[in-house]
A and B are shown apart, each in its own frame.
Chain A
Amino acid sequence: MTKNSAALLCGTLFGLGLSISQMSNPDKVLAFLNVTGNWDASLVLVMVGALVTLTIAQHFILKRPQPVCDTEFHLPKTDNSIDSRLILGAAIFGIGWGLVGFCPGAVLAALGDGKLEPFLFTLALGAGMMLFSWFHSKK
């Protein structure tokens, strides 16, 4: 297994997971966010399934000295630092997510619907990221 073939396998599983759980459907996500309306708790079950699987598997994986295809685990070292930049970024993301129901993974999984909406959103998402790099490289 090489890094690229492992990533291809993992991406395939991730895409199937998003499709089977219907998280690629923005209406389904908005129905979860609509807590005072006809609430759909499905997203909670998606998170429970993902968290239970990953937390248990990770417990064993991180006992290894290194991953199979790399020399070290690339984990964030800032897990305990909460700053205003994090909260502001999460809030801006929350507004965009609440407006249409697409997050970055879901919109990529929705591209295959062959409709214009996910495609436009993906382009705008890329533009937002470029805007960020542009602002932050000037400082």
Chain B
Amino acid sequence: MENFTPYSAFFGGCLIGLSAALLLYFNGRIAGISGMIAGAFDVKNNENHWRLFFLGGLIISAAVFSHFFQSSPATYSRSTLLLIVSGILVGYGTRLGNGCTSGHAVCGLARFSKRSAAATVTFMAIAMLTVYITRHLLGVSI
């Protein structure tokens, strides 16, 4: 496990938890990214503008960080078809299941929600199985 980075992972995780806590403190909202993306496009509703500000802050701060300290850039060699298929699955699945890693695996688990625990166990297990099948059974490194 030479690629294990426990300190930066723990510190980054604390910032994510702090972000979710402050969003609850100020706006009374759950920091679920898939729900925010889905809601952000309904711009006619003024209640939704905060979502655009959150997503904008996320995109810009991550971009600035990677501009100054790109410690381990991704390989980025995935095929266009694979990206499109998996993007559609993630978009559709997170709406059907009402949440993704942030909404279920962070905010939901912090509330001890049984629903989020069931969702988290399901998507983690299926994602691990998907990696097992593609890498170890089919032998493709994607």
Contacts and interface: CB of A to CB of B under 8 A. Distances in A.
A99 B1 contact: no
A25 B142 contact: no
Given A7-B27, A46-B9, A89-B96, A124 B91 contact: yes
B118 to A, nearest CB: 5
A132 B35 CA distance: 13
A44 to B, nearest CB: 8
Interface residues of A, number: 117
B115 A86 contact: yes
22 contacts: A6-B50, A9-B57, A14-B20, A17-B15, A17-B16, A17-B19, A25-B74, A27-B72, A42-B3, A42-B6, A45-B13, A49-B10, A49-B13, A49-B17, A76-B108, A81-B115, A90-B118, A91-B123, A94-B122, A98-B130, A99-B86, A128-B93
Interface of B: 1-6, 8-31, 33-34, 37-38, 41, 49-51, 53-67, 70-76, 78, 80, 82-98, 100-102, 104-116, 118-120, 122-132, 134-136, 142
Contacts of A21: 5, 8-13, 16
Chain A contact surface mostly: helix
B3 A69 contact: no
Contact of A41 (B4, B25, B72, B135): B4
A120 B80 contact: yes
Contacts, number: 479
Interface in A9-44: 9-28, 30-31, 33-44
Given A11-B54, A132-B91, A50 B106 contact: yes
Given A14-B16, A49-B13, A75-B30, A104 B100 contact: yes
Contacts of B11: 20-21, 49
Interface string A39-61: 11111111111111111011001
Contacts of B53: 4-5, 7-8, 11
A79 B87 contact: no
A98 B140 CA distance: 13
B66 A124 contact: no
Interface string A65-90: 01111101111101111100111111
A93 B105 CA distance: 13
Interface string A88-122: 11111111111110111111111111011100111
Contacts of A44: 9
A11 to B, nearest CB: 3
